[in-house]
């Protein structure tokens, strides 16, 4: 049994995605999905179908409780909706007035969590808190945002079209959308004129985004196509410049773009990244012998329902159809008092923003946000390989979420360390979004500077783009009322005669009074530490207990603040934000982000400039990557990572790991 | 056998430090060191003495060649001086005119490497290149910088007092220096007035630095003392404000500072960080089961003399008395051609700079540079524990160097990855430099803002400080003539009607012509990639082959550029520098840094503004940490890390690891 110690992570991963699958796709409306027909849309959620059995086998081997979703009942107020609860929601909705005649498409259904204070005060053994479901439904061009009470079987909250955007597209929307262009003679002619067999064409639905009034008021998808002739990696064979905008509801073509005639479709040679497809092993390379990791005395973590207990950490872990994985009620045990102490009420990735840097008609709209905005999925990435390259033996517990989003794979790790540190790490891999070009070689580019990226292979440009992901971090340091402190390092000139030194650094603690005080842009030459402290709780020597955010590598958005995509992705205007806790402010890009105008985003909430000193506050951290592609990214990218830490600062009276026994060879 | 897979690293670590020990301390002048008498000066070099046997045992178990230094002969032009060669150097010097009457103190002896071109052209089996030794000796207030030719037994280069600074102090200098204050009545009275028994006093020699003309022209040490009564961690019991400046050569007190009377010496309670000293285990913590890592088919790396071969990497690895570990001739094998390709001729940590941020008389001079500037050593850090927390199972080869420098431990990892990436990681741990204070609690601080740091325990301030370490990276991408390219990401406003987008990013490649073009300060909002390319070698599609520097978290020096410590530490004025290759420009803070004025530093070399386009160039990277201490750092710090990567960019024609077999469970 190798890789035993990675099983915890895999188990949590599978557990999470497995449950996502159940929470997300128990609707008749979705049971028609046919993966074999449209492999490129077999999304991670559905991919788990295949892994379900694997999971059960593995977890049984590891002695975990067999997850029987048919009989599962919630054990904790934050436990996700069970299968029976989801079925009950469907029954309630089918007799709910707007839906009696025809059942809507269900775009989201998830637990509507009880109030934070009730959850913190709930203890194991107490009666479960009332269960409610949060539902986003779509019917006859109307978006319904509903809260369904499972006890009273009533819809207790009903909001119609709250924002300009639409709910995420469901699979049928995508499936039907990509068929529409084939009804258009211009489209078929263009395909054939380019020498491509229609049977070799794979089309994908790309998000339309929002670019001003032109395309408002209707659900649109931009359909772009590829040739899969001769390769599984059709992403590397774009049919350049052929973009068909379709109305998802009317099922008609609303705009037809056909530029880039004569741009050849890149050759399929060397586009297959599967090991089986490589014609030989690396030449003359010294072989790598396998490394086995084992835990002879068994794993160190416990999973009790959705509660995870490991070393000095306890937290609630659950899947979420939009966030992927949600960490709740993270608490760390104080090694002196032996008591559990509150650190974070809730942590999850709130939003994605991936703008590509090409303004041409075929590319300008590629500024994706959110799984609700990214229509594409793929299941081709060499996943097992990735896991092994990412396994961690360092004694930490890693909660891993892996999602195939569009051509990319995002891996999000929550790494809990025994010194109280939480490392949040984002890893990117998958396929580049490439653009066709006439150029076989840089020499042929009249002006290499003018390409929107790097020539990564003959006739293919890897277009420059950014990745941003923002984390919602509802810190509750030893309680809910916290303050955000900018611990500012400033150069101090020594006064004459004070010292042989001319200058030194001085620390200035600036407590943020309102939200605008906490809109933080990092500056290497004007540095600060950023602390979330509990001003009501002091350490033995009088320091407020707290946690600090420790940034790693990062990148900022440079786009024009009035650029439509930047308006929707305005959460990237700062690296750190702190908002007053508001249970409805979860999604930094807006609840209904698809074609949204950005009126319901973090930037808008923060501009209200609410009081945040000694209040229940939420910390937001934006992690960014600039990606200038290079040939090593072809045909699939080596993974790239960045991270940030949440680190105790005067939270413990002293080094918290002195009492932990060294883990030495003799143990084994 | 647990942790098998860590043994490669440990082996290399021990090998390196073991050889450092031999190269650095075979002088009669140093054989008088008595560790038991001055435990705080038992430096990492000497600490290895204890591990030597361990090493041999372990390596024999692992089937490594037993290193017999008595019969060792060099096999490669870069191999370090052997014991016989070092003895021959001593013989040659003892009959060298200036030293015939009395033998100098030898502050440095190491291989004087042959010219780069000769080394690149040397192949295994060729006759060894001429062997020379580089020596820094000190006698009668004179510094001698010598090159000794071992073939002709001649001193072929002789330079007297080339710079203002002095060679590093040797152990006797330190040992005698700390005894001098005890001859001074004022000193002894002050100790006793403070209620400390003289027998409980441990004094350490702190570097004097350079602060203008006052203290020039003589070798000085600032002696500061501690009480070790009741604790092994005397660092936490400073005798505050008692600083005796002594002349190392005349062995006399030149300046006596006695301030801070009445500042209590912090209590010894809870200062002991050893596991054996903890009164109990963490309360109610879930036990961590051990994790075993094994390589059932054995290790994957080969060590042939000083050549290390692993996967697609080959490089020469050797210890160096000043740099610690030097990586030479790093080459990566191209998986397509099967050929070895040049990446880096030489890489090593060139300089340290650790300014503390307190301008008072007892603290201003604490602005350490370099092991040659830092007089203190300690061997108390719980080393084995650290290794385990840092072990890496991810399939990479890690070359680790660990050094106890002053109160700190520095761990430097060179991590070689199969995708051609080299990660350079610096980890800090060890003890804080703390300052005594009257305050038991923050309430008592008239103005908490005015403390030079954080109250980390009763009567102890953890003083704010920075850590900077700069790496000398002599990149030779497919040959020695390379260029440095600033791949600049700039916001481009879309012209009216060009696009529904208002803006996008555009890449501008700016080739650095001269050294000043390559003085780089990182800017989050004016970002670039930094490439070292070979303009004479293009990829299949015409991109220049190259490597890029990928920064991780970093910190910049904010000190006044004319501050004496900043003049010596001017290498921190930029995060990246590129210089024209010059074999004598190795030490960013100067060859003779002790009390140096900074006339021989990287900043001075770079100001010459030499041509660097398509030339043999050296890349320098400055890694920085701001450290605002917190209670978790008491009594010993949890380790903190940061890193940067050297990553192939259009160096390979495509993703280089496609052909590498996935390492799956079945292998085990």
Phi-psi region of B338 (alpha: psi -120 to 50; beta: other; left: phi over 0): left
Distance CA B296, CA A561 (A): 56
User: What is the distance in angstroms between the Cα of B90 and the nearest Cα belonging to chain A?
Assistant: 41
Mean of the per-residue pLDDT values for chain A?
83
* Chain A hits for B365, Cβ within 8 Å: 500
**What one-character-per-residue DSSP string does B506-525 give?**
EEEEEE--BGGGG-B---TT
Full strand arrangement of the beta sheet holding B460-463:
B434-436, B460-463, B453-457
Average pLDDT for residues B153-175, to the nearest whole number? 93
Query: Strand ranges (DSSP E) for A453-605?
Result: 453-457, 460-463, 465-475, 481-493, 503-511, 528-538, 544-551, 576-580
Average pLDDT for residues B293-312, to the nearest whole number? 89
- A522 part of contact set with chain B, CB < 8 Å: yes
Mean of the per-residue pLDDT values for chain B?
83
Stated pTM of the model: 0.88
For chain B, what percent of residues have pLDDT higher than 90? 64
Distance CA B265, CA B463 (A): 16
A651 domain-assigned: yes
B230 domain-assigned: no
A68 domain-assigned: no
A547 domain-assigned: yes
* Chain B hits for A280, Cβ within 8 Å: 659
Residue B341 has pLDDT above 90, yes or no: yes
Angle at B115 between CA B150 and CA B96, to 5 degrees: 25
Find the range with the poorest average confidence among A421-435, B62-76, B370-384, B540-554. Answer: B370-384
Residue ending a domain, choose from B127, B160, B193:
B160
pLDDT on residue B67: 53
* pLDDT digit string, tens, across residues A122-131: 999 999 999 9
A241 domain-assigned: no
For chain A, what percent of residues have pLDDT higher than 90? 64
Q: Looking at A96, A163, A368, A408, which residue is catalytic?
A: A408
Residue B25 has pLDDT above 90, yes or no: no
* Chain A hits for B509, Cβ within 8 Å: 449
- A598 part of contact set with chain B, CB < 8 Å: no
Number of other CB atoms surrounding residue A318 within 10 Å: 23
pLDDT on residue B447: 59
* Chain B hits for A287, Cβ within 8 Å: 300
Residue A371 has pLDDT above 80, yes or no: no
What CATH number has the domain bearing residue B632? Answer: 2.70.98.20
Indicate the pLDDT class of residue B370, thresholds 50, 70 and 90.
Answer: low
Q: Which site among B290, B336, B485 would you substitute to test the A interface, given the most A Cβ atoms closer than 10 Å to its Cβ?
A: B290
Instruction: Quote the radius of gyration of chain A (alpha carbons, Å).
Output: 26
Residue B508 has pLDDT above 80, yes or no: yes
Residue ending a domain, choose from B160, B188, B220:
B160
Average pLDDT for residues A357-384, to the nearest whole number? 57
A370 counts as catalytic: yes
Contact B353, B468 (CB under 8 A): yes
Answer yes or no: do B560 and A333 touch at CB < 8 A. Answer: no
User: What is the distance in angstroms between the Cα of A373 and the nearest Cα belonging to chain B?
Assistant: 18
- B283 part of contact set with chain A, CB < 8 Å: yes
Residue A46 has pLDDT above 70, yes or no: no
A77 domain-assigned: no
Answer yes or no: do A654 and B635 touch at CB < 8 A. Answer: yes
- A294 part of contact set with chain B, CB < 8 Å: yes
Longest CA–CA separation in chain B, Å: 87
pLDDT on residue B48: 23
Average pLDDT for residues B68-72, to the nearest whole number? 72
Domain boundaries, position A634: 17-22+301-376+388-667
Closest-CA residue to A625 (of A637, A640, A639)? A640
Query: Strand ranges (DSSP E) for B228-312?
Result: 238-247, 252-258, 292-294, 301-304, 307-310
Residue B99 has pLDDT above 50, yes or no: yes
Q: Which of A140-154, A228-242, A369-383 has the highest mean pLDDT?
A: A140-154
Average pLDDT for residues A413-430, to the nearest whole number? 92
Residue ending a domain, choose from B133, B160, B187:
B160
What CATH number has the domain bearing residue B147? Answer: 3.10.450.40
Distance CA A619, CA B35 (A): 50
**B291 vs A18 pLDDT, higher one:** B291
* pLDDT digit string, tens, across residues B451-477: 899 999 999 999 999 999 999 999 999
pLDDT on residue B363: 81
Search chain A and give the residue with CA nearest B284. A338
Longest CA–CA separation in chain A, Å: 87
Answer yes or no: do B449 and A508 touch at CB < 8 A. Answer: yes
CA dihedral B117, B120, B124, B127 (to 10 degrees): 10
**What one-character-per-residue DSSP string does B547-587 give?**
EEEEE-S-----S-TTSHHHHHTGGGG-SEEEEE--TT---
User: What is the distance in angstroms between the Cα of B545 and the nearest Cα belonging to chain A?
Assistant: 10
With 0-12 / 13-18 / 19 or more C-beta atoms within 10 angstroms meaning exposed / middle / buried, residue B264 is middle
User: What is the distance in angstroms between the Cα of A150 and the nearest Cα belonging to chain B?
Assistant: 37
pLDDT on residue B365: 78
ipTM: 0.87
Name the B residues in 156-215 with CB < 8 Å from any A CB.
211-212, 214
**What one-character-per-residue DSSP string does B134-196 give?**
EEEEEETTEEEEEEEETTTTEEEEEEES-SSSBPPPPHHHHHHHTTGGGG-HHHHHHHHHTT-
A43 domain-assigned: no
Q: Which of A152-166, A265-279, A400-414 has the highest mean pLDDT?
A: A152-166
Distance CA A155, CA A135 (A): 10
User: Who contacts A563 (Cβ-Cβ below 8 Å, separation ≥6)?
Assistant: B501, B502, B503
User: Who contacts A627 (Cβ-Cβ below 8 Å, separation ≥6)?
Assistant: A428, A464, A465, A466, A467, A640
- A497 part of contact set with chain B, CB < 8 Å: no
Answer yes or no: do A333 and B283 touch at CB < 8 A. Answer: yes
Distance CA B470, CA B596 (A): 18
Number of domains composing chain A? 2
* pLDDT digit string, tens, across residues A103-115: 999 999 999 999 9
CA dihedral B512, B518, B524, B529 (to 10 degrees): 50
pLDDT on residue B29: 28
Answer yes or no: do B522 and A524 touch at CB < 8 A. Answer: yes
Distance CA B294, CA B458 (A): 46
Closest-CA residue to A420 (of A504, A522, A343, A490)? A343
Distance CA B586, CA B169 (A): 20
Average pLDDT for residues A419-423, to the nearest whole number? 94
DSSP, collapsed to helix, strand or coil, labels residue A21 as: helix
* pLDDT digit string, tens, across residues B582-637: 999 999 999 999 999 999 999 999 999 999 999 999 999 999 999 999 999 999 88
pLDDT on residue B448: 52
Distance CA B298, CA B80 (A): 28
With 0-12 / 13-18 / 19 or more C-beta atoms within 10 angstroms meaning exposed / middle / buried, residue A527 is middle
Q: What is the DSSP letter of B52?
A: H
Answer yes or no: do A394 and B395 touch at CB < 8 A. Answer: no
Indicate the pLDDT class of residue B288, thresholds 50, 70 and 90.
Answer: confident
Which pairing describes strands A576-580 and A544-551: parallel, antiparallel, or unpaired?
unpaired
**A342 vs A373 pLDDT, higher one:** A342
Indicate the pLDDT class of residue A407, thresholds 50, 70 and 90.
Answer: confident
| Helix, strand, coil share (%) of chain A residues, nearest 5 | 20, 35, 45
Residue B389 has pLDDT above 70, yes or no: no
A29 domain-assigned: no
Nearest-by-Cβ selection for A503 from B489, B543, B563: B563
* pLDDT digit string, tens, across residues A604-652: 999 999 999 999 999 999 999 999 999 999 998 888 999 999 999 999 9
Search chain A and give the residue with CA nearest B457. A541
Name the B residues in 648-667 with CB < 8 Å from any A CB.
648-665, 667
Q: Which helix or strand (DSSP H or E) is residue A113 part of?
A: none
- B355 part of contact set with chain A, CB < 8 Å: yes
User: Who contacts B97 (Cβ-Cβ below 8 Å, separation ≥6)?
Assistant: none
Average pLDDT for residues B535-552, to the nearest whole number? 97
Name the B residues in 249-278 with CB < 8 Å from any A CB.
270, 273, 275, 278
Q: Looking at A272, A358, A370, A466, which residue is catalytic?
A: A370
* pLDDT digit string, tens, across residues A484-509: 999 999 999 998 888 888 999 999 99
């Amino acid at each position: 049994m190798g890789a035993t110690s990675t099983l915890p992570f895999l188990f949590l991963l599978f557990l999470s995605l497995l449950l996502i699958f159940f929470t997300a796709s128990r609707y008749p409306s979705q049971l028609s999905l046919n993966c074999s027909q449209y492999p490129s849309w077999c999304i991670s959620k559905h991919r788990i179908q295949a892994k379900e059995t694997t999971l059960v086998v593995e977890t049984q081997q590891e002695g975990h409780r067999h997850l029987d979703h048919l009989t599962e009942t919630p054990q904790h107020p934050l436990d996700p909706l069970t299968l029976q609860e989801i079925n009950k929601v469907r029954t309630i909705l089918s007799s709910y007035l707007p839906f009696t005649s025809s059942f809507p498409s269900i775009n989201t259904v998830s637990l509507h969590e009880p109030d934070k204070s009730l959850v913190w005060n709930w203890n194991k053994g107490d009666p479960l808190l009332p269960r409610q479901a949060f539902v986003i439904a779509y019917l006859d061009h109307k978006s319904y945002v509903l809260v369904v009470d499972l006890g009273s079987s009533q819809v207790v909250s009903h909001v119609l079209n709250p924002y300009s955007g639409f709910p995420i597209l469901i699979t049928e929307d995508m499936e039907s959308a990509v068929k529409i262009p084939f009804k258009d003679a211009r489209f078929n002619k263009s395909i054939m004129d380019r020498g491509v067999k229609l049977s070799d064409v794979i089309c994908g639905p790309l998000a339309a985004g929002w670019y001003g009034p032109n395309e408002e008021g209707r659900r649109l998808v931009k359909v772009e196509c590829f040739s899969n002739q001769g390769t599984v990696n059709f992403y590397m064979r774009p049919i350049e410049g052929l973009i068909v905008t379709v109305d998802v509801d009317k099922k008609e073509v609303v705009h037809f773009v056909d530029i880039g005639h004569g741009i050849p479709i890149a050759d399929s040679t060397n586009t297959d990244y599967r090991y089986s497809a490589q014609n030989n092993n690396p030449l003359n390379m010294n072989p790598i012998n396998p490394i086995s990791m084992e835990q002879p005395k068994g794993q160190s973590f416990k999973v009790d329902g959705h509660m995870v207990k490991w070393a000095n950490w306890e937290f609630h872990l659950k899947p979420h159809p939009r966030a992927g994985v949600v960490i709740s009620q993270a608490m760390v045990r104080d090694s002196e008092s032996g008591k559990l102490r509150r650190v974070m009420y809730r942590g999850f990735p709130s939003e994605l923003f991936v703008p590509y840097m090409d303004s041409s008609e075929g590319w300008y709209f590629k500024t994706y946000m959110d799984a609700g905005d990214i229509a594409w999925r793929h299941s081709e990435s060499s996943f097992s390989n990735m896991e092994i390259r990412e396994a961690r033996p360092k004694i930490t517990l890693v909660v891993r979420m892996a999602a195939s989003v569009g051509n990319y794979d995002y891996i999000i790790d929550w790494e809990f360390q025994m010194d109280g540190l939480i490392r949040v790490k984002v890893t990117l891999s998958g396929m580049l979004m490439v653009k066709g070009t006439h150029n076989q070689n840089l020499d042929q580019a009249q002006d290499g500077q003018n390409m929107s990226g790097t020539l990564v292979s003959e006739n293919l440009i890897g277009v420059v783009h950014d990745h941003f992901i923002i984390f919602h971090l509802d810190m509750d340091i030893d309680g809910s009322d916290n303050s955000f402190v900018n611990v500012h390092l400033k150069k101090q000139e020594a006064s004459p005669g004070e010292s042989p030194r001319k200058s030194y650094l001085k620390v200035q603690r600036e407590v943020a009074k309102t939200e605008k005080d906490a809109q933080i842009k990092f500056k290497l030459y004007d540095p600060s530490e950023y602390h979330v402290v509990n001003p009501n709780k002091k350490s033995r020597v009088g320091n407020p207990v707290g946690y600090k955010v420790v940034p790693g590598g990062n990148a900022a958005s440079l786009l024009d603040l009035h650029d439509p995509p930047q308006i929707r992705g305005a959460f990237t205007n700062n690296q750190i934000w702190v908002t007053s806790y508001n249970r409805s402010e979860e999604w930094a890009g807006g609840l209904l982000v698809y074609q949204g105008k950005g009126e319901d985003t973090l930037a808008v909430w923060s501009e209200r400039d609410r009081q945040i000193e000694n209040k229940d506050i939420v910390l937001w951290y934006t992690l960014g990557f600039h990606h200038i592609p290079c040939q090593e990214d072809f045909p699939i990218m080596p993974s790239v990572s960045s991270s940030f830490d949440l680190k105790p600062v005067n939270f413990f009276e002293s080094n918290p790991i002195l009492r932990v026994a060294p883990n030495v060879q003799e143990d084994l």
